[in-house]
Amino acid sequence: MFNPDINDYQLTSIVSECCGGIAVVYSAVHKPDNQNVAIKRYFVDKSREKANLIQQDILTRKELHHQNILPYLTSFVHGQELYVVSPLMELGSCRDILDRYFQEGLPELACAIILRDVLLALQYLHKQFYVHRSVRASHVLLDTQGNVRLSGLRSAASMMLRGRRQKHLHSLPPPDHDNANLMWLSPELLEQNLKGYDEQSDIYSLGILCCELANGAVPFSEVPTTLMFTEKVRGNRPQLLDCSSFPEPLDDGEMKSMYNTDSGVGDSAEGMCRVRLVYARRKLSDAFHRLTDSALHRDPEKRPSASQLLNHAFFKQIRRTDFLPSLIGRVKPIKPDHCDISALLLEEKLSDMEIEKTEEWDF
C-alpha cells in the first residue's frame, strides 16, 4: 500500500501549479512498486483560510469510492508542506487538452464518453447526498487507459447536516482565487434566495461542461461576471456551436457578442478564424443539442437527473470498442522519467521563484 512517508516517493517533474499558487502538482514514482503517482504539495501556511478546505477535500475523498472519482491514496506532512498522493492521470485535465490540442472542441464521440463517465460520478455523488458544485473541464482528468475521473471535491457540499438530510443548500461554494468557478454554477445557486439549490445544480454545470467540451471555450467567459449572472437568471441558455447554431457568414461585431476562443493559441486572429470556420462547417448530433439544452433548463425541477441523463439517446452512440485515448490521439501523455532527476534539481532552484501558471490541473 502507499505509505505516508516522503522517502517512498521520488518526485520527477512538475505537472502544474494550482489553487492560485498554494499548491503544486508533481508527477512522482512510488519506489516500492515503481508505480507512477501524482503528488499535490500544498503550502498550507500561505493561506490559513484554505487549510480547512484542504482538510474537507481529503475527508470527502476518503469517504467516496467510485471508478470515476479521483481516488485518494494517502497524505502526509513533510517539513512545512502537506502532500496528497493520487494516481497519475497522464493525459491531464480536459481543460489542458482543449487549450493545447483542441481549441475548437473535442470530437463528439469523445465528449459522449467523457460526459457519460462524469454523469456516472455525479449519479454516485448524488446518491451519497453530495453536491459537487464545481463540475468543469479542469476537474475532469483522463489517463492513458481510457479512465475518466472527476476531481475538485474541495468545493463539494454534503446535504447531510447533523445527521439529517437537508432538502436545499443555500451557501455559495468557497471562492476560488479568480472566481472563475462562477461560470459553471447554476442560476438558482447564484441567486442565493430562500429556495436554495440541490443536486440538480450539478446538472446545470454539466450542461456548461457540454458546451465547454464541444466548443472549446466556456460560455460567458467573455462577459463580466454580473452580466453572466443576469443572463443565467433570465434563462438564457448557452448552445453548442455548429452549422445549426452558428451560420458561416459572420461579421466581427456579431462574433464578439458570442463565445470567443480566448484561451491559449486561439487568441491570435488567424486561429480565431480557423475555429469559427470549424464551428460553421461541423454538425453535432441533435441528441447532443437536446441533452445540453435539457441540462441547462432554468428550472431545476425540469432538468433531468443524472440517472435519467445516462439513459439519454446521446450516449447510445458509444460502442464498447471505443477507446477514448485513441479518439484524442494527438494528446501526448505526461511521461515521468525515472532516471531523470533534472526536473527536481530545477525545482529546487525554482523554489524561490514565482512559477508562471501555465495550465489548470486541479485535483
Partner 1 sequence: MDPRMCRKISSSESLPDVDNEEFEVSNIIAPQESEDNFLLEGSPEPQTVTWLDDDQIDDLNLDQTNLFFHRVDSADIIYRSKKKKCKLVGKYVMGDILGEGSYGKVKEMLDSETLCRRAVKILKKRKLRRIPNGEQNVQREIQLLQILRHKNVIELVDVMYNDEKQKMYLVMEFCVGVLQDMLESSPGKKFPQHQAHEYFTQLLDGLEYLHGQGVVHKDIKPGNLLLTLDQTLKITDFGVAEALDMFSPQDTCYTGQGSPAFQPPEIANGAETFSGTKVDIWSSGVTLYNMTTGRYPFEGDNVYRLLEAIGRAEPVPPPACVGSSLSALLVHMLKRDPDLRPTVQQIRRHDWVRSIPPLGPGERIALRVRAGVLHRERSETRVGRRRAKGRWHSSCGRLPSCRLT
Longest dimension (CA), the chain: 60
Least distance CB 185 / partner 1 (angstroms):
8
Give the binding site for partner 1 (CB under 8 A).
168-172, 175, 179, 182, 190-196, 224-226, 229-230, 233-234
Per-residue CA distances from 236 to 186, 299, 304 (Å): 12, 12, 18
Which of 86, 163, 165, 93 lies closest to 130 in space, CA to CA? 165
Q: CB-wise, 87 or 196, nearer to partner 1?
A: 196
Question: C-beta of 47: minimal distance to partner 1 in Å?
Answer: 15
- Rounded alpha-carbon distances, angstroms, from residue 223 to 34, 130, 202, 256: 47, 30, 22, 10
C-alpha cell at 159: 446535504
**Which residue in the block uniquely carries the three cell numbers 507512477?**
36
From first CA to last CA, the distance across the chain in angstroms is: 21
**Cβ 229 to partner 1, closest distance in Å?**
5
Helix (H) or strand (E) holding 343: helix 342-350
Q: Which is nearer to partner 1, 34 or 179 (CB)?
A: 179
Q: Residues 194, 195, 200, CA angle at the centre, nearest 5°?
A: 140
> Sheet harboring 35-42: ordered strands across?
9-18, 23-30, 35-42, 81-87, 74-78
Nearer to partner 1, 161 or 345 (CB): 161
Q: CB–CB of 149/114 below 8 Å?
A: no
Shortest Cβ distance from residue 55 to partner 1 (Å)? 17
Between 50 and 149, CB nearer to partner 1: 50
- Closest distance to partner 1 from the beta carbon of 237 (Å): 17
List the one residue out of 202, 179, 89, 203 whose CA is nearest residue 140: 89
DSSP-assigned states of every residue in 176-194: PTT-GGGGGS-HHHHHT-T
* Cβ atoms of residues 321 and 145 within 8 Å: no
CA distance 166 to 195: 12
Residue among 192 and 308 whose Cβ is closer to partner 1: 192
**Closest distance to partner 1 from the beta carbon of 178 (Å):** 9
For partner 1, give the closer residue by CB, 220 or 361.
220
Q: Which is nearer to partner 1, 105 or 300 (CB)?
A: 300
Of 230 and 268, CB closest to partner 1: 230
Q: Cell numbers of 167, please?
A: 432538502
Report the nearest approach of partner 1 to the CB of residue 196 (Å). 7
Residue 143 C-alpha cell reads as 489517463
Nearer to partner 1, 137 or 189 (CB): 189
Give the nearest distance from C-beta 191 to partner 1 in angstroms.
7
State the minimum distance, in angstroms, from the CB of residue 158 to partner 1: 13
- Of 230, 157, 227, 217, residue with least CA distance to 187: 230
